Chains A and B, each alone.
Chain A
């Protein structure tokens, strides 16, 4: 049983630039993942509008019946979100690590065009290692 179901990265205009599935039932096809990502982008923006107090920066955790969604927004507006089992801990830390990998292996890649889909081998490799490690840690707990 996977603790982490999937990972999405969306750019500042809501376009999906990275999607990885780690074993959810019925994998989403490309069109659906694009739609879901841009829907999340708008829901994130609307949640800021509805805040009762000033200074809201959007949804950080969505608790659904069968999964939790943790979202992290970088200062430049890129959003990283993971779908995981309900009650999974330490997802904020994992998202920060993924953000670091993104800055190191994607943004510093001279062939990467900003805001475009991520196709960097080193990022993929290091990401798999991180998620693998997280999974082992979760099993050990």
Chain B
């Protein structure tokens, strides 16, 4: 996994990969599995209540990560399935696609997980997620009134995020 070197924060947003509004929703989790942020733009189907949905999503990512760490065909020293791993350790994944949606995933070195769910034919969103992470750093982590580990309530972050997501997806 790549760490985010360079001191200049969010120089310019990466070029859009598609046009039209096709982002469904976004989640931000911290390393303990607390859902810091959930934004929804276009989600016709709700199968569970919000809390259960967040828990299921975190569980899915957690298990998929242990699956990819165990399956990694390029590394012979993989340990057992489900062995606890620090962010950046072991083979992770950056996206999966089903017939109805594509989920892009990014984990920062501090264990912040950003999940963006979009239309299945969206291109590679790794750069976009990094940009969203930069937004998080700028508007949330640097906000003196924000207590780490609590749900994000920053007006500026939300407006910038909405604006950016509308432009990419």
Contact = CB atoms under 8 A, between A and B. Distances in A.
Interface of A: 5-6, 24-26, 28, 32, 35-36, 39-40, 42-43, 46-67, 69, 83
B97 A61 contact: yes
A39 B64 CA distance: 8
A25 B57 contact: no
A103 B140 CA distance: 55
Interface of B: 1, 24-25, 42-45, 47-48, 53, 56-57, 59-60, 63-64, 66-68, 70-78, 80-81, 91-101, 103, 117
Nearest to B93: A64
A64 B70 CA distance: 11
B98 A67 contact: no
Contacts of B77: 26
Contacts of A52: 24-25, 42-45, 100-101, 117
B45 A5 contact: no
A65 B1 contact: yes
24 contacts: A5-B73, A26-B75, A32-B81, A36-B70, A36-B81, A42-B63, A43-B63, A43-B64, A52-B117, A55-B100, A56-B99, A57-B100, A58-B98, A59-B97, A63-B94, A63-B97, A64-B71, A64-B72, A64-B91, A65-B91, A66-B91, A67-B71, A67-B72, A67-B73
- Closest 8 pairs (CB-CB, A-B): A26-B76, A24-B73, A52-B24, A5-B73, A64-B93, A64-B68, A52-B43, A25-B76
A53 to B, nearest CB: 5
Q: Which of A46, A55, A66 has the most CB of B within 10 A?
A: A66
Nearest to B52: A49
Contacts of A40: 67
Nearest to B69: A64
B100 A53 contact: yes
Contacts of B59: 46
Given A24-B73, A25-B73, A50-B47, 5 more contacts: A36-B70, A51-B47, A61-B97, A65-B92, A65-B93
A56 B97 CA distance: 11
A102 to B, nearest CB: 22
B96 A61 contact: yes
B27 to A, nearest CB: 10
A48 B47 CA distance: 10
A49 B52 CA distance: 11
B91 A43 contact: no
A41 to B, nearest CB: 11
Given A26-B78, A59-B98, A63-B93, A32 B56 contact: no
